[in-house]
Amino acid sequence: MKKFFAAVLVLALSGAAMAADLSDLKYLNGELRVGMECAYAPNNWQETAKSETNIPIDNVPGAYAEGYDVQFAKIIADYLKLKPVIIKMDWDGLIEALNQGQIDVIIAGMMDTAERRQAINFSKPYHSTIYSVMLNKGSKFENATSIQDFKGASMLGQKDTALDTVIDQIEGVNHLAAVASVPDMIARLREGACDAIVINLENSKGYLASNPNFKLIVFEDGKGFKLPAVGSCVGIRKSDTALLELVNDALATVDQDKRDVMWETAVNIQPK
């Protein structure tokens, strides 16, 4: 399956026309330092063996980053004629690291929200999302059809993300203190420390494959969460206006069909 990543990468880069001056990026010294968690499959995860599609994690010796975000990091870096360098970081430190110059961009499934936009700029979306709820089979909430059916449920999200803040849209919910990552959320649900977690619908296939006792609740239009933005964007410093323009140019070289293939490949090869 990983060969699909390599094939799509070639297709995305073939015939790409530069619409801005790359000389504006000389300050990057030939590298694009990309921040991500490496713990948010199928967007990004960590591996121990090198492959033709993953990238070494610069600050974790012997480890490699793989996933949908990683492939976009490669596409963007190649378009900019830079070497992609992956930096593994905690989610809640990504924006500060970007503004301090430790990384050049965030490619980590980050949503463009009004709050984050006060600190950094965002590219056009490279992936769209829908939120749903995951719980254990046999839960008293497993027949829910609306988010309001989770009144009284102890619900958990990820710190500093909309996966946490949207929980307050449920009247009477027991909004638990958020945890640091999606794997933390899944572990808490598996242990029975919460009734349900909020997850990205498009990520659910892998979660369900690894946790057969989980059940996914999908909501019809008007009965689910209202999201602050459509999906994942690249985070860029406010001062890096030329980089923002060029990143958007790079994203425009990848049409929706190619994005769909990339996503399905990531879902199929993510850790089980």
**Average pLDDT in the chain:** 93
Q: What is the pLDDT of residues 106-139, one digit of tens each?
A: 999 999 999 999 999 999 999 999 999 999 999 9
Other beta carbons within 10 Å of 185: 27
Number of domains in the chain: 2
Check whether residue 57 and residue 24 sit in a common domain: yes
DSSP state for residue 135 in the 8-state scheme: E
Question: Residue 180 sits in a domain of what CATH number?
Answer: 3.40.190.10
Check whether residue 6 and residue 86 sit in a common domain: yes
End-of-domain residue from the set 176, 194, 217: 217
Mean predicted confidence (pLDDT) in 2-26 = 62
Mean predicted confidence (pLDDT) in 83-111 = 97
Identify the pLDDT of residue 23: 87
Domain boundaries, position 262: 2-127+229-269
What residues have CB less than 8 Å from 210, skipping those under 6 apart?
186, 271, 272
Check whether residue 7 and residue 120 sit in a common domain: yes
Residue 230 has pLDDT above 90, yes or no: no
Check whether residue 122 and residue 134 sit in a common domain: no
Query: Is residue 224 a part of any domain in this protein?
Result: no
Check whether residue 61 and residue 156 sit in a common domain: no
Residue 9 has pLDDT above 90, yes or no: no
Query: Is residue 223 a part of any domain in this protein?
Result: no
Check whether residue 175 and residue 67 sit in a common domain: no
End-of-domain residue from the set 217, 238, 254: 217
Identify the pLDDT of residue 86: 98
Check whether residue 14 and residue 109 sit in a common domain: yes
Check whether residue 37 and residue 141 sit in a common domain: no
Q: What is the pLDDT of residues 30-73, one digit of tens each?
A: 999 999 999 999 999 999 999 999 999 999 999 999 999 999 99
User: How far apart are the C-alpha atoms of 259 and 162, rounded to whole Å?
Assistant: 23
What is the pTM assigned to this prediction? 0.84
Check whether residue 26 and residue 116 sit in a common domain: yes
Check whether residue 95 and residue 179 sit in a common domain: no
Q: What is the distance between the terminal CA atoms of the chain, rounded to a whole angstrom?
A: 15
Mean predicted confidence (pLDDT) in 230-240 = 95
Kindly write down the DSSP assignment for every residue of 200-260, as one continuous string: EGGGHHHHHHH-TTEEEE---TTSSPPPSSSEEEEEE-TT-HHHHHHHHHHHTTS-HHHHH
Check whether residue 103 and residue 177 sit in a common domain: no
Check whether residue 79 and residue 120 sit in a common domain: yes
Looking at this protein, which amino acid is placed at residue 155?
Answer: M
